[in-house]
């Protein structure tokens, strides 16, 4: 099943390109729900150059996610994702 992605403009605040976000979705190493905010999920994946990204999203339905944050992977996120 292919996941469809919708984007909030805030997803691009850190100058991560849409193609890199989509690449990270297809090359993810973690996809977890955030315990403090069960409606929010975290993906850790790789951009087209192989750099790790953190992506936050809300699931809309079984096939669609709503991405509202994307940036280079931070140390604090690494710890949260147990990487």
Listing DSSP states for 43-59 in one string gives EEEE-TTS-EEEEEEEE
Residue 60 pLDDT exceeds 70: yes
Residues listed for the chain? 83
Per-residue confidence at 18, pLDDT binned at 50, 70, 90? very high
Using CA atoms of 40, 25, 76, 66 in order, give the dihedral in degrees to the nearest 10: -30
Task: Report pLDDT for 61.
Answer: 93
pTM reported for the whole predicted model: 0.91
């Amino acid at each position: 099943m292919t996941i469809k992605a919708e984007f909030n403009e805030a997803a691009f605040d850190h100058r991560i390109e849409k193609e890199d976000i989509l690449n990270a979705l297809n090359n993810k190493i973690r996809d977890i729900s955030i315990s403090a905010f069960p409606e929010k999920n975290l993906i850790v994946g790789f951009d087209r150059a192989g750099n790790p990204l953190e992506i936050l999203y809300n699931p809309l339905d079984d096939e669609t996610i709503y991405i509202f944050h994307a940036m280079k992977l931070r140390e604090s996120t690494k710890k949260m994702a147990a990487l």
